[in-house]
Structure 1
Amino acid sequence: MKELKAHDLRCEYRTNPIGLETVRPRLSWKLAASGRGILQSAYQIQVDESADFLEPMWDSGKVESDQSVHVEYGGVEPKPRTRYWYRVKVWDQADRESAWSDAAYWEMALGGIGEWRGVWITPPNIDGKAGETPDYLRKAFNVQGQLAKARLYATALGVYKLYVNGRQVDDSLLAPGWTSYRKRLQYQTYDITHLVQPGGNAIGAILGNGWYMGYLGWEGANRFYGEERALLAQLHLTYADGREELVATDGTWQCGRGGLLKSELYFGEWFDARAEPEGWSTPRFEAADWSRVSLPSYDMDRLAAQENEPVRMIEKLHPIAAFVTPRGEKVLDMGQNMVGWMRFRVTASPGCTITLRHAEVLDEAGNFYTLNLRTALQEVRYICKGEGQESFEPLFSFQGFRYVAVEGWPSAEWSLESVGGIFEGCVIHTDMEQTGRFSCSDELLNQLQRNIVWGQRGNFLEIPTDCPQRDERLGWTGDAQVFIRTAAFQYNVAPFFTKWLKDLALDQLPDGGVPHVVPDLPFCGYNSSAWSDAAVICPWTLYQCYGDERMLRDQYPSMKAWVEYVYAQGDDRFLWNTGFHFGDWLALDGTDGRPIGSTPKDLIATAYYAHSTRLLANAATALGFLDDARKYEDLHRNVVEAFRSEFVTPSGRIASPTQTAHVIALMFDLLAEADRPRAAQWLAAHIRDKQVHLTTGFVGTPYICHVLSRFGYHDLACELVLQREYPSWLYSVTKGATTVWEHWDGIKPDGTMWSEEMNSFNHYAFGAVGDWLYRALAGLDQEPEVPGYKRIRIRPRPGPGLTNAEAVYASMYGTIRSYWSMGDTGILELDADIPPNTTATIILPDVRTDRITESGMSLESADGIRVLHASEAELRLEAGSGSYHFRAQLRSE
């Protein structure tokens, strides 16, 4: 057996985080060991301010436990601005002891309000352009002596970028991010020890509007949170001799203007290189003509250390084509609908203006198309300085695009050979760790999977937005809740959603009502079923995927408040038949071209009422709130009975003849057991009557394949997901889509557009089918009663049109893999990888138990496997950690 060892140590999901505010951080690790059936039986953790651990400040001692995820630090309360090292030792089930792991660390944030010495500073209205033109600020300081470390803590009202001695302090973007600013404002921690030099130094900052003051939404309004930008920062200098000095925002800071003339998230950015003060953030810069800052009186009690990874530039793309449209526009094709910006180099005369416009698609004639952006210009202008080669990329705006129209280019030559190496696309999003992948034998389905991933990348930028290009880009709760399970497979979204859910709870109304978008913008409204139910669905899904009990406990009051809000609505406490609802948004069975399907809104509302109530009861049970568990189990039972009385006929038929009505009734277990097969049969027949097409919208689409597979129509689910004709998931793929569309027919077969007003080509909601691809088709899932993939379920589900499928998921315990292949001979092959400290149930369908081997041996001889159940329908096995290869003959062959 390979040496047993703990590795990949994490603190609050992150590797060596700095700026942590949690005083009881949780530690996680994975086990490295070869062989099968490896389980942890005990662990020991040591924590110290020194990496040598000579006298640990906390030693857990040997703890008899198999827990290796979310183990809470149990020592004295950590001190602000202090780094703590930790290491882990483990024992396996045979009581074999490992060596100590490599050391990892976390570093505490600044601390509470009392630790702040800096004050808010804001630039005066220098030239009458306050709130329009970004501000430049600076402060010179000296370092006297040998420096041991330097930490800079900062935040802003607006967005900011910091520089020390002319260099960016880090690679994060759009700090401090978007939160419910009136209630919670994040600050960031920067290690700038490597940037500070002996003698003279300078800090520089650029402030832009961002989400705080910029335009938000489609009504042309801005300044939702405030009327002026401001900066708060303080730098702690710690010398080798123990001295500390502080450089903080105060009245001595200076402000001026630079080359950044305009910057808005929707509209884009203008930069005049001739106006950029050279060396403005260095100590040698002469700032005599810069103005003094003002000192506004903003409170600090809303400050909180950043807990999620920031937005970063993740990848660079290069154009795949450069061409001229029939209209004469010079256009670059990036080959991928992406989110971020273009970086380019140019050599031109002074004053030469390069203008970039961004679009997702071309129209039917092949011309540049921007009508779907509405008022979002997505325009970048760069005015050249004219002194040799220059380069530019935006700072405080981002665009959603595949195509870039370039105007003012100084050369008449326009080809991929001449400009392809000059332009590059910078892909940005929240820096989430990629954890999952799916592939199969159908290349169009693989492209759909790539589209789903790119849709998540483009829309998980600070918050889960609906779209990244038009004048919207808001945190729609409905989109988030239908997609969260898919999202959690593809990336580690636990910190991302934990941060967002805190804002949801803060923006919740006193009566428990939940906004349609988070952070809340009042004109977007409140309390639609399936949208506001995100308050319950999202925390429960995160708990299932990551086993994060602390997050669930923190969100529980919000979950409970939402269900209590719904309970108070309607003419009947157990039906929800009042208020505004989006219904089955963008379903295809609506009337008069309306975007709302024909499934009754009160049916959907009551179904989600039952669903959220059941999840709340589950959460109460998981948290040990047994009185609440009984209360909400009773409420759930009453809501289900009311649903059946109102929406199901005495003979057991669902009164609404729509796909969505049947999907959610079956998915949420709202029908009597005896009535479920008939409902599933009706659904399958309806899909076949539609020539294997769906008619569902936001509410029904996420679950339709799950329901078909669950109730014996898995082959039909495969046919549906492989359907290439409109309406289908693969229709957009056949039209060249590289992200998921908002509408099933965003581009019609003749090349015309569905709509000019609401037609995003990067909208992830319908990509929720990814959850079915991973869990049902590829067969990688978990046992529902044990969260966080501690107990894994591998269940391959071959279907027509596919010869193999694979899902790989990097769980908190390690990498899980399920790969099945199916040939013409009726032989099913399955590869399964199970990480240490977990076990798996492996279910093989319709196999002959006398014709199955594992790694070439009979099941009786194979190591690490136990037969749990055998029947003609399935063979159920239990397997410990390790890699397995099964080969089985199907009974039907």
Structure 2
Amino acid sequence: MAGLHITNLTCEYREKPIGIDVKNPKLSWQLESDRRATFQTAYQVQVSISKHFENSIWDTGKVESDQSIQLEYTGPIQSRTLYFTRVKVWDNYNRVSDWSEVSSWETAFLDHNEWEASWITPDETMMDPQSEEIFQLRKAFTLEKAVASARVYATAAGLYEAYINGKKVTENLLTPGWTSYQTRLQYQTYDVTELLSEGGNAVGVLLADGWYKGNLGWSNKRNIFGDQRAFLMQLHVKYVDGSEEVISTDPSWKASTGPIVSSELYHGEAYDARLEQAGWNQFEFDDTNWATCVVISLPFSHLVAQENWPTKVTETLRPVEVFVTTSGDTVMDMGQNMVGRMRFQVEAPKGTVITLEHAEVLDKDGNIYFGNLRKAKQCVTYVTKGEGVETFAPHFTFQGFRYVKVQGYPNQENSLDLSQFTGEVIHSDMPATGEFTCSDPLVNQLQKNIVWGQRGNFVDVPTDCPQRDERLGWTGDAQVFIRTALYNYQGAPFFKKWLRDLKADQLEDGGVPFVIPDLPNLMGGNSSSAAWGDAATVCPWTVYMVYGDKSVLEDQYDSMKAWVEYIRKQGENEFLWNTGFHFGDWLGLDAKENSYVGATPRDFIATAFYFHSTRILKNSAIVLEKYEDAAEYSSLLKKIKETFVREFISPTGRLVSPTQTAHVLALAFDLVEGETRKRVASDLNHLVIENDYHLTTGFVGTPYLCFALSENGYHDTAMKLLLQDSYPSWLYSVKKGATTIWEHWDSIKPDGSFWSDDMNSFNHYAYGAIGDWMYRRVAGLDMDESDVAYKKILIRPQFAGGKLTHARAEHQSLYGKMVSSWEWTKDEISVRVEIPANTTATIVLPNVHSEHLKENNVEVVHAEGVVQVENHDGDVRIEVRSGVYTFTYPNQMGSLDLFTKNSRVLDFLSSSKAMEVLEKHSPGISEKIGPFSHMKSYTLTCFAKEPTIQLSDLDGIIQEINEAIIAEKKETNHEYSKA
């Protein structure tokens, strides 16, 4: 029907996936409507093995329901079968849509016993299995009939690239990815129908060490998961006449080495084109002198179909400049700190050696800086064969870099031809789902840096850095950043895959290794830390909340429970975590000299996260209807909180630790209530103010800092933190030219020198967690957590008194595009929102009464799609259904009206110094308000009707008041207390 359409049919988050092994896959779709306030009232889904739906194998019939995401398919299912899907819906306007366009999904092997192939590797009597050289494997075969369709199912112990008849079967890179290899190994499915033909054919494979047996970690360890590369493949061919044939890996395959002399993830790749064997992956090639292959004993039971988004080249960049450094090096500048590889063309005599060395920054003298790479070489070497124009990009490695030192390129001493070089950006190919922009160009660059940092560190696993000899899946970094990550990109498959590895690598006692996949004894036997191991609970809960995918909780629940029980067993007091190793507030600026650990007590942090994880576990138990567990962990939660309060909070509401991070965690995790909460929030605010609006938080406190301020009446202070551009701050690095997030607040110091070489990544996304707050509090695009997956949207912009004049956030939820956008002028505020069909939204607009609020020049109460309007404490709350809405209202309220909702101002008015400032700007205000202890809403309301302080002047007045209060505290040398 015109005006109501079904779009974006997905299966397991993908459009038309092939090669899944989920027996009850989840189906989702979106509605598009030409009318506001559209929601689905019923649906019908059909699944067939025929594209024309002559016979449906699963038909829901008309189901009265508004469900349009995560619908579980419960029909019959078989391996290696293509299923077609279509959907129709009914809406609240009594419309029924046409059938959607036909979508599809295809299964791989639903049982590991369906593998007929053998794991193969070159015969070690003919080829050294520990050779650095990359293996080339091949198999020639003949197809006697016309081909109707063909699928390759392949994986490796190591990394592989597969070719058929000389053409790559996929653009995917670094396959099969990195998993907990002993328990889980992904295989991939490729449609290769177009690559095969009747007659002679050949499969060729490149086989490298990769994560499986290559160099990993900073200790030069190898063979962590296995000591022999191996390959596994089944090629299933269906002929036009209906018959089938399977070509598998077996001892008939041949093997050789080739031009890739070495390839390591950290060190780069060496390629000698003189060693190429032309046509090695084609039928006619003579492999008589190649080695034979042998079967190797590796399991099949741990094979799983591809879960994660594949790793690909997602963008290309051209160098923006070439220059010669003071040290005489020829260096290209890509203009962006990126992760990937360089592709280049060259025409040169045979044997010419070209070397590319990759680094992130220049030192203060303008020379390329390799110090922070530690043992990683990030070097690519190419030796020409001297036969015309040659093109090269490395196969099994990636680099983190902005600058490339070039050696040996023809005529580079005169002028390097930049047109011959291209940077290829590589990461897991997640669909982009979020955008944030505002009126401040430095903040916009910060958002770009956050996104580039995510791209560079989401290379199959969430790594901590992409350049040095580490690149590991640190749990702490992942859990603090996940909510930001899921705004920017569709990350459900990425995290679901990684969390299954976490569960697989979880220790027998429930502890969680620092990195996933685990590298045993990475930290000398230490294994489980608060805020790091809590990835076991935080990450699955976040995925569930953002996507409404209950299966992630079902998959991970035992792991989540095991982690909480692990904590519970630590030490003598089961309600307090004060034992074991912890990273603490890692890289906190209040750390002691020569320490990486911030000043916040580690048992304070550990117990706070114990409470946080227990609450998540309790909530997960409720979702999964595990009510006995829910009751048990509700009781445990109460006792942890009581113990925390006794241990870490004085009777007057003072925290034992005077750090920003301690106050942040107490507020963010709801460990303080009532007057104590107000005291802690006020103290946090003053800690920030007294540090001249600079933060001191590390990895643990930073993600929650601005939330703790904004949600407790100090959004103005949070905004000043965001907009601070001197060290330490988010914008300090931006002003220093950063194009990704740094590991340290001062990775480059004000004088241009570096933090120490030993741990100084310039692409380290953890501090990019501020992006979550920018989306949710600055732009105001949030979720009403009474439901999941943005079924109920919360739009609540906070304007920050003119510090920004506009902000906009967009996110593609499973229901469709959501937008929150606002503009602030001295005279008017305008808020534009977009709410997708089949959802509802609550829009909270500050400092306005509904009688002054219009939507598209219509009184808000009469606007189409508006369900309810309420005035509450100076705000207007508007309930709307789907559609695009534009709200406008005059920006002329008196500042005291704003003060009535702001606990800071109640603090201010208890200070004689603050009253002096207010009196200076508004003579007679003290008489109108009267003594603070007798302040009533009546007098405040009366004053608001006769405003003498305008909202546009508020910023300066608040800053003046803050300075006056600090001065007063210093004079009296005692802590001022709140009423």
Coarse TM-score class (shorter-chain normalised) = over 0.9
Match of 2:69 in 1: 69
Aligned to 1:563: 564
Partner of 1:597: 598
Contact 2:113/2:300 (<8 A) preserved: no
- Aligned residues of 1:131 and 1:213 also touching (Cα < 8 A): no
Q: 1:724 aligns to what?
A: 725
Check if 1:145 corresponds to 2:145: yes
Alignment partners' CA distance in 1, 2:588 and 2:842: 37
**Structure 1 position 821 matched with structure 2 position 823:** yes
Q: Aligned to 1:808, what secondary structure does the other structure show?
A: strand
Q: Residue in 1 aligned with 2:855?
A: 854
Structure-1 separation of matches of 2:153 and 2:829: 57
Q: Which range moves more in the overlay, 133-142 or 856-865?
A: 856-865
Aligned residues: 889
Alpha-carbon distance in 2 for matches of 1:672, 1:805: 32
Cα distance, 1:877 vs structure 2 = 0.6
Q: How does 1:622-641 map to 2 (within 5 A)?
A: 622-641=623-642
Mapped partners of 1:264, 1:639: distance in 2: 47
Amino acid at match of 2:808: E
Tell me the alpha carbon deviations over residues 778-837 of structure 1, each in whole angstroms, 9 at most, x when there is no partner: 000010120100000011110142111000000000000000010122x11000000000
8 A contact 2:22–2:110 mirrored in 1: no
- Residue 5 of structure 1 is matched in structure 2 by 5
Residue equivalent to 1:42: 42
Whole-angstrom distance in 1 between the partners of 2:131 and 2:530: 38
| Match in the other structure for 1:617 | 618
Contact 1:60 1:74 in 2 (8 A): no
Give the partner amino acid of 1:797: Q
User: 2:279 aligns to what?
Assistant: 279
Q: What CA distance in whole angstroms lies between the structure 2 residues aligned with 1:331 and 1:559?
A: 48
Which amino acid in structure 2 is aligned with residue 407 of structure 1?
Q
Distance 2:465 2:412 in 1: 35
Match of 1:106 in 2: 105
Residues in 2 aligned to 1:124 and 1:263: alpha-carbon distance in whole angstroms: 21
In 2, distance between residues paired with 1:809 and 1:873? 28
SS at match of 1:278: coil
Amino acid at match of 1:824: K
Identity among equivalent pairs (%) = 53
* Partner Cα distance (1:131, 1:526) in 2: 33
Asked whether the 8 Å contact 2:861–2:869 carries over to 1, the reply is no
Give the corresponding residue for 2:427. Answer: 429
Q: What is the rounded CA distance, in whole Å, between the counterparts of 1:674 and 1:708 in structure 2?
A: 16
Q: Which amino acid aligns with 2:403?
A: Y
| Partner in structure 1 of residue 934 of structure 2 | none
Which residue of 802, 805, 829 maps to 1:803?
Answer: 805
Q: CA deviation at 1:478?
A: 0.1
Distance in 2 of aligned mates of 1:233 and 1:49: 26
Q: Report the equivalent of 1:812.
A: 814
**How is 1:56-95 mapped onto 2 (pairs within 5 angstroms)?**
56-76=56-76, 78-95=77-94
CA distance in 2, matches of 1:504, 1:46: 36
Alignment correspondent of 1:311: 311
Aligned residue number for residue 887 of structure 1:
888
- Does residue 697 of the first structure (1) align with residue 698 of the second (2)? yes
Partner of 2:245, secondary structure, is strand
Structure with more of its chain in helix, by fraction: 2
The Cα of 1:414 is off from its aligned counterpart by 4.8
CA–CA distance in structure 2, aligned partners of residues 521 and 120 of structure 1: 24
Alignment of 1:392-431 (within 5 A): 392-415=392-415, 418-431=416-429
AA aligned to 2:467 is Q
Shift of 1:129: 6.4
Pairing 1:340-489 to 2, within 5 Å after superposition: 340-415=340-415, 418-489=416-487
Q: Is the 8 A contact 1:313 1:429 kept in 2?
A: yes
Deviations 1:122-152 (A, max 9, x none): 1134454634111000000111111110001
Residues in 2 aligned to 1:811 and 1:520: alpha-carbon distance in whole angstroms: 32
Larger radius of gyration: 2
Contact 2:722 2:731 in 1 (8 A): yes
Indicate if the aligned counterparts of 2:129 and 2:228 stay in contact, CA closer than 8 A. Answer: no
Aligned equivalent of 1:515: 513
Preserved CA contact (<8 Å) 1:131 1:227: no
Does the C-alpha gap of structure 1 residues 770 and 412 become closer, same or farther in structure 2, counting only changes over 3 Å? closer
Conserved 8 A contact 1:143-1:200: yes
The answer as to whether partners of 1:840 and 1:880 remain within 8 angstroms in 2 is yes
State whether residues 122 and 129 of structure 2, in contact with CA within 8 Å, keep that contact through their aligned partners in structure 1: no
Post-superposition shift, 1:861?
2.0
Query: What's the Cα RMSD here?
Result: 1.0
Supply the distance in 2 between the matched residues of 1:672 and 1:776 (Cα, whole angstroms): 22
SS at match of 1:836: strand
Distance in 2 of aligned mates of 1:593 and 1:820: 45
Question: 869-878 vs 641-650, which deviates more?
Answer: 869-878
Q: Do the aligned partners of 1:318 and 1:423 also contact (CA within 8 Å) in 2?
A: yes
* AA partner of residue 116 (structure 1): W
| Preserved CA contact (<8 Å) 1:571 1:577 | no
- Contact 2:849–2:874 (Cα < 8 Å) also in 1: no
Q: Describe the superposition over 1:466-505 as per-residue Cα deviations: whole angstroms up to 9, x where unpaired.
A: 0000000000000000000000000000000000000000
User: In 1, distance between residues paired with 2:574 and 2:443?
Assistant: 44
1:286 alignment partner AA: D
CA distance in 2, matches of 1:812, 1:309: 17
Moved more, 848-857 or 230-239: 848-857
How far apart are 1:873 and its partner, in Å? Answer: 2.3
**Structure 1: gaps of 5 or more residues:** none
Q: Cα deviations across residues 580-638 of structure 1 (Å, max 9, x unaligned)?
A: 00000000000113111000000000000001001111111111111111111110110
CA distance in 2, matches of 1:360, 1:732: 14
1:874 and 2:875 correspond: yes
Deviation at 1:74, TM superposition (A): 2.1
1:58 Cα offset (Å) = 1.1
Checking the alignment, whether the CA contact within 8 Å between 1:330 and 1:414 is kept in structure 2 is: no
Which has the higher mean CA deviation after the structures are superposed, 793-802 or 321-330?
Answer: 793-802
State the partner residue of 1:497. 495
State the SS of the aligned residue for 1:650.
Answer: coil
1:844 maps to 845
Per-residue deviation, 1:872: 4.1
- Secondary structure, counterpart of 1:181 in structure 2: coil
Letter in 2 for 1:90: V
Distance 1:256 1:112 in 2: 33
* Alpha-carbon distance between aligned partners in 1 of 2:651 and 2:764, rounded to the nearest angstrom: 40
Q: CA offset at residue 354 of structure 1?
A: 0.2
In structure 1, what is the Cα distance between the partners aligned to 2:4 and 2:652?
60
**TM-score, normalised relative to structure 2:** 0.90
Q: Secondary structure at the match of 1:876?
A: strand
Retained in 1: the 8 A contact 2:850–2:869? no
2:670 paired residue number: 669
121-130 or 403-412, larger mean C-alpha shift: 121-130
Shift of 1:110: 2.5
Alignment of 1:10-29 (within 5 A): 10-29=10-29
CA offset digits 1:551-608 (Å, max 9, x no partner): 1111111101100110011221100000000000000000113111000000000000
Structure 2 CA distance for aligned equivalents of residues 496 and 310 of structure 1: 9
**Cα distance, 1:2 vs structure 2:** 4.7
User: Is this contact kept in 2: 1:322–1:414, CA < 8 A?
Assistant: no
Separation (CA, whole Å) in 2 of partners of 1:716 and 1:34: 42
Asked if structure 2 preserves the Cα contact closer than 8 Å seen for 1:110 and 1:153, the reply is no
* 8 Å contact kept, 2:744–2:760: yes
CA offsets, 1:64-83, max 9 Å, x none?
1100000011212x111110
Q: Distance in 1 between matches of 2:841 and 2:757?
A: 50
SS of the equivalent of 2:698 reads coil
The Cα of 1:848 is off from its aligned counterpart by: 3.1
Q: 792-801 or 726-735: which moved more? A: 792-801
What letter is aligned with 1:521?
L
Q: Which residue of 1 aligns with 2:687?
A: 686
Distance in 1 separating the partners of 2:46 and 2:312: 33
